Amino acid sequence: MRDQLSVRLPRELNEAVGERAKRDSRRPSDVVRLALQQYLLGAAGDGRGRTDRVSEAGDVPAWGESESLKPERTIVLRDVPEDLYLALEERAAAERLSVAGYVLDILARRRFGERLQSLSRVQLSVSAAELIREARDSR
């Protein structure tokens, strides 16, 4: 049996999902489903991949709070595989979030990661380790 999951997304994130869907010739729900599957496979219980927690007051990631990230759109996912939904439900409960809040957090973190990867790398004249050592020694 497949379940349906409704997720409220901030306008910015919803537009990004729509753009990605258009670019990949997919439905927005397919983009969200694939992102969730990739996230769950990549984070399979190893605890890595976690960035900041979602704020207790709402479903917006603490590092992404702003007026432009208020939920304004809804995405409805149909045909969610039972095992995927159960995994989402379990992980959401562990984070003290609703399934929709957990899915929104996954999508927001993924978008944040894509933004970070798109930034150009900075070449330092000194290694980061040397900078840290120097700062520690100066105390």
139 residues of the chain, pLDDT tens digit each: 467 888 888 888 888 888 888 888 888 888 888 888 877 776 555 444 444 344 334 444 444 444 444 556 778 888 889 999 999 999 988 988 888 888 888 988 888 888 878 888 878 888 888 889 989 998 8
Whole-structure pTM value? 0.40
Domain count, the chain: 1
Contact between 18 and 27 (Cβ < 8 Å): no
Q: Domain of residue 79: give its range.
A: 3-137
Angle between helices 28-42 and 82-94 (to 10 degrees): 60
For 28-32, which contacts have Cβ atoms below 8 Å and span 24 or more sequence positions? 28/75, 29/75, 29/76, 29/77, 29/78, 32/7, 32/75, 32/77, 32/103, 32/107
With CA atoms as reference, report the closest residue to 6 among 112, 88, 69, 110: 88
Closest CA to 91 of 30, 45, 33: 45
Long-range contacts at 95-98 (CB < 8 A, ≥ 24 apart):
95/53, 95/54, 97/54, 97/59, 98/59
Burial classification of residue 25, based on how many CB atoms lie within 10 Å of its CB (0-12 exposed, 13-18 middle, 19 or more buried): exposed
DSSP 3-state of 79: strand
In sequence order, the 6+-apart residues with CB closer than 8 A to the CB of 34 are: 26
> What is the per-residue pLDDT for 43?
58
Predicted confidence at residue 86, as pLDDT, reads 92
In one-letter notation, the amino acid at residue 89 is E
pLDDT for residue 58? 43
